[in-house]
Amino acid sequence: MKKHSQILLFLFLILFGCTTKKKENKDVSLNPSDDSLAIYFSLANDINLPFQYKQKYNQKAFEIVKDQKDDSLKKVNLFKIANRYYNMSDWKSYQKIAILVLEKSIDSKDSINMGKAYIYLGDYYSSQRISDSAFLNYFKAEKIYLGINDDFNLIKTFLAKADLQLSEGDFFESEITIFKALKILKQKKNVNNDLYDCYNLLGILYNEREEYDKALEYHNKALLTLEDKSIPSELQSKATSLNNIGFVYLRMNNFNKAKFYFQKGLKEKDLFNGKTSLYAMLLDNLAYAKFKSQNFTDLPGQFYDALRIRDSLKLESGIILNKIHLSEYYAFTKDTFKAIQFSKQALILSRHSNKLRNTLDALKQIAVVDPGNASVYSREYIRLNEKMVKSERNMGEKFSRIQYETNEIKDQNSNLQEKNRALVYVFSICTLIGLFFYVYKTQQAKNRELLFKQQQQIANEDIYNLMISQQNDIELTRIKEKKKVAQELHDGVLGRMFGIRISLDGLDKIDEPDAAQKRKKYLTELKHIEEDIREISHDLNREKSELINNFIAILNKLFEKQQNTYDSKLITSFDSHIKWELVSNIVKINLYRIIQEALQNCNKYADADTITTEFKSEIDYLVLSISDDGNGFNTKRTKNGIGLHNIQYRAKECKGTVTIKSSKGEGTVLIIKVPIDQKINLQKNDT
C-alpha cells in the first residue's frame, strides 16, 4: 500500500535539512491472466523511462481497467494506476483516478475503499498545499475506519493527518494524533514499519519544538525498529534516521556528532542510486557541519556536489537551502560578492516558490551578508514571520473547526432527516402561495399597463386633435374663399366668357371692314380672362399644399420656438416626396413628441453648436434623424434616462426602431425608422 505520509514529510524536511522515509509503493499481486496489464503497470513504474512514456503506459493500463467489471479487483487496479501517477507527480491524473474510485466505492457502499480514496484525495490536496481540504479528506477517512474498526488503515490515516498538522506548524495536535496511532500499535504485532513512522515523526516534531533530548530519544527508537528486517532496505530508512539524528545535533551546535551521523548515513549501501535526494541532503548537511566546526576539508566542493544533484532533481527547497549554506560559507571566507550572489539567488527562488519558511531563511541570510540593505530585509522578515505565525495559528484553528463542524453535522443529520419532511410540506405550501401572489401581481401589472396604454392612446389623440383644432379657423376661411372663387368664376369669368362667345358668333355672320379689329379686341379680352383663371388656380393649389402640410406647419412652429429660445443653430429638412396625408395621426403624434424630447435632451446635455433634423423616405420606411455636434456620451456605460426611455417607447408604439450613435466629444445621432405603406415612399412618384 502507498505510504502517503512519508513522502509529504520528506518534502517538508528538505526545507529544514531533516528527512523521513520514502513513500512506499506495495502493489497487490497482479492478475497473472492479464499479462498486458501487468506489463503496462511495470513499465509505468520504471524509473529509467522518461515521464511521457510512463504516462502513456499508465494510460494504457487505465484503458484496460476501466472496461473491467465493477468489483473489488477493479478498485485495486485503479489504486495501482493512481500510485503510479503519484510517483510521476502527475497530480491532476492522480486526483481524477482518486475521485473515480471514491464514486465507485460510494455507489457500491465499499467503506474500506471509500476511506482509502479519501486518503488519496488528502494526499493530492496536501501536495498542492491546500491543507484544509487535505485535512477534511483525512478526517473523513478516519471516521470511516473508526466506524468499521479497521485499525490497520486507521493508523495510516492518523499518520497522514499528523504529518499534515506537523507541516502546518500545529505541533500540539500533531503530537496527540501520533500518540493515538501509537496507542493502537502497542496492541498489535508485526507493525514495525508503522511504529518507525510514528517515532520518526515524533523525533522531527520535538526537534522543531527544540526539545532535543526527546527528539534524540524517538529518533533512536526509530533506529531500533529497523532491526526488524521486514522493513524494505530500499526505503533507506536507516540513512533517513541517521540524517535526522545528525540534524538534531546540528541544531544543538554539536557539530562533531552531527558530522559523525551524516558520514555514517552516507555510507549506507546503494544510497546514491536508491535515494539520490537523500544522498544530496546528507552531503549538504555534512558539508555544513564541517563548515560550522571550521573543518574546511573538501569545501566548498561538497556544497557544490549536493547543489548539482538537487538541481538535476529540481528539488526547489533543497536548492534554496544549499545556496544559503554557500552564502554563509563565502561570507565566512570574506568573499562578499559570492556571499551576496548566493543569498540573492536563494531569495529570488524562495519568493518564486511561495513558501514562507524558505523566504524567511533567505531573508535572514541576506540581511547578514548585505548590511547596507539589512533594514529593508529585516522589515520584510518581520512582516513575513508574523504572516507565517498567523497563518499557522489560523490553520490549526481551521483543523479544529473542521473536526468540530464535521461531528456537529453528523449529530445533526438524524434531526435534519426528521425535520426535512415538515420543511418539504411547508416549502410546498409557501411555493404555492408565492406562485399565486406572483400570478396575481403579474396580472395586476398587466392590467395597469393595458390601462396606461389606453389612457396614453386617448391622450395622444386629444393632443393631436388640439394640435389640429387651431387649423379649423383657417379651414373655415378657406371654405369661404373657395365659395367666393366659385362665385367669381360663375358670375364674373363665365359671364364675361359667355358674352364674348356671343359676340364672336355674331362677327362670323358679318363681313365688315372693322370685323378683324373687333375680333382682336375680343381675343385680348379672352387673354385677360385666361390670366384671371390661372391666378385663381394658383391660389387653389397653394391652399391644397397648405392643407396637406399642416403637420409640417406644426413642426415648423416647434422649430421656430427652438430657434427663438436657444443659441444652437437648427437645420431642418423634409423629403418633398413624403405623402403626409397618408401617414397616420398616431405616427405623426409620436414623431412630434420624439423630436420635442430629442431637442430637449440636446438643450440640456449636448451643449451643441448645430442641431440637424431630417425626414427621409426609404423603401417601406419613414426615417427621422436628429443629430448634433455636442458633447456626446458612452452608449455602453450611460444608463438610459426617462427621455431616452420615452423616445424608445414612442418608437415602439409606431412599430419602429431606435438607433443611437454617440461617443465622448463626437456628438450624437438619433435615428428613428418607422415602417410605412409602400405607397407613401419617395420611390413612388405619383402625380
pLDDT in tens, 588-599: 888 988 998 899
- Residue 8, pLDDT > 70, answer no
* Closest C-alpha to 575, from 627, 616, 622, 621: 616
Work out the pLDDT band at 192, boundaries 50, 70, 90.
confident
- Residue 534, pLDDT > 60, answer yes
Q: Could you tell me how many residues make up the chain? A: 687
- Residue 31, pLDDT > 80, answer no
Q: Which three cell numbers stand for residue 241?
A: 534516521
- 60 domain-assigned: yes
What local confidence, expressed as pLDDT, does residue 19 receive?
A: 42
Work out the pLDDT band at 493, boundaries 50, 70, 90.
low
- Residue 677, pLDDT > 80, answer no
Judge whether 630 and 642 are in contact, CB under 8 Å.
no
- Residue 540, pLDDT > 70, answer no
- Residue 457, pLDDT > 80, answer no
Q: What is the mean pLDDT of residues 180-200?
A: 85
- Residue 109, pLDDT > 70, answer yes
Comparing 125-129, 346-350, 572-576, 635-639, which segment has the lowest mean pLDDT? 635-639
Q: What is the dihedral of CA 118, 353, 242, 189, to 10 degrees?
A: 0
- Residue 491, pLDDT > 70, answer no
Residue with cell 546514491: 272
- Residue 4, pLDDT > 50, answer no
CATH number, position 587: 3.30.565.10
What local confidence, expressed as pLDDT, does residue 450 receive?
A: 76
Could you tell me if 501 and 544 lie in one domain? Answer: yes
Could you tell me if 517 and 615 lie in one domain? Answer: no
Residue 155's φ and ψ, nearest 5 degrees, are -60, -45
Q: What's the domain count of the chain?
A: 3
- 184 domain-assigned: no
298 Rama sector, left if φ>0, alpha if ψ -120 to 50, beta otherwise? left
Instruction: For residue 625, give Cα distances in angstroms to 482, 561, 641, 644.
Output: 38, 19, 20, 15
- Residue 289, pLDDT > 90, answer yes
Comparing 21-30, 121-130, 177-186, which segment has the lowest mean pLDDT? 21-30
Instruction: For residue 435, give Cα distances in angstroms to 443, 447, 546.
Output: 12, 18, 59
> Percent of the chain having pLDDT more than 70?
77
Work out the pLDDT band at 355, boundaries 50, 70, 90.
confident
Could you tell me if 506 and 482 lie in one domain? Answer: yes
- Residue 25, pLDDT > 70, answer no
- 407 domain-assigned: no
What one-character DSSP code corresponds to residue 45? T
| 117 CA to centre of own chain | 30
Comparing 69-73, 271-275, 460-464, 666-670, which segment has the lowest mean pLDDT? 460-464
Mean predicted lDDT score pLDDT of the chain: 80
Could you tell me if 43 and 132 lie in one domain? Answer: yes
- 375 domain-assigned: no
User: Which DSSP helix (H) or strand (E) runs through 174?
Assistant: helix 171-185
- Residue 468, pLDDT > 50, answer yes
Could you tell me if 544 and 561 lie in one domain? Answer: no
Work out the pLDDT band at 278, boundaries 50, 70, 90.
very high
Burial of 85 per CB tally in 10 Å (0-12, 13-18, 19+): buried
Collapsing DSSP states into helix, strand and coil, what is residue 613? strand
The one-letter amino acid code at 279 reads Y
Alpha-carbon gap, residue 371 to 374, rounded angstroms? 5
Query: Which of 548, 570, 595 is the last residue before a domain boundary?
Result: 548
Could you tell me if 140 and 35 lie in one domain? Answer: yes
Span 403-426, pLDDT tens digits: 555 555 554 555 566 667 777 878
- Residue 176, pLDDT > 70, answer yes
- Residue 430, pLDDT > 60, answer yes
- Residue 484, pLDDT > 70, answer no
Could you tell me if 585 and 667 lie in one domain? Answer: yes
Burial of 205 per CB tally in 10 Å (0-12, 13-18, 19+): buried
What local confidence, expressed as pLDDT, does residue 282 receive?
A: 94
Query: Which of 509, 531, 548 is the last residue before a domain boundary?
Result: 548
- Residue 138, pLDDT > 60, answer yes
What local confidence, expressed as pLDDT, does residue 18 receive?
A: 43
Residue with cell 514499519: 193
The one-letter amino acid code at 217 reads E
Span 51-61, pLDDT tens digits: 889 889 999 99
Work out the pLDDT band at 300, boundaries 50, 70, 90.
very high
Alpha-carbon gap, residue 431 to 270, rounded angstroms? 72
- 170 domain-assigned: no
* Closest C-alpha to 368, from 329, 415, 398: 329
Work out the pLDDT band at 30, boundaries 50, 70, 90.
very low
Alpha-carbon gap, residue 326 to 307, rounded angstroms? 10
Q: How many CB atoms lie within 10 A of CB 123?
A: 28
Could you tell me if 540 and 619 lie in one domain? Answer: no
Span 387-401, pLDDT tens digits: 877 766 666 565 666
- 457 domain-assigned: no
Supply the range of the domain harboring residue 128: 31-149
Query: Which of 506, 526, 548 is the last residue before a domain boundary?
Result: 548
Work out the pLDDT band at 441, boundaries 50, 70, 90.
confident
Could you tell me if 572 and 484 lie in one domain? Answer: no
Q: What is the mean pLDDT of residues 186-212?
A: 87
- 434 domain-assigned: no
pTM for the complete prediction? Answer: 0.54
Residue with cell 561570507: 331
Could you tell me if 591 and 669 lie in one domain? Answer: yes
- 289 domain-assigned: no
Work out the pLDDT band at 22, boundaries 50, 70, 90.
very low
What local confidence, expressed as pLDDT, does residue 45 receive?
A: 85
Could you tell me if 543 and 561 lie in one domain? Answer: no
b/e map 344-365, b = 16+ CB within 10 Å: bbbbebbeebebbbbbbbbbeb
What local confidence, expressed as pLDDT, does residue 470 receive?
A: 55
Could you tell me if 583 and 641 lie in one domain? Answer: yes
Q: How many helices (H) and strands (E) does the chain have?
A: 26, 5
- Residue 492, pLDDT > 60, answer no
What local confidence, expressed as pLDDT, does residue 321 receive?
A: 93
- Residue 623, pLDDT > 70, answer yes
CATH number, position 73: 1.25.40.10
Judge whether 365 and 136 are in contact, CB under 8 Å.
no
What local confidence, expressed as pLDDT, does residue 443 receive?
A: 85
Work out the pLDDT band at 512, boundaries 50, 70, 90.
low
Strand partners, 658: 672
Q: What is the mean pLDDT of residues 515-539?
A: 70
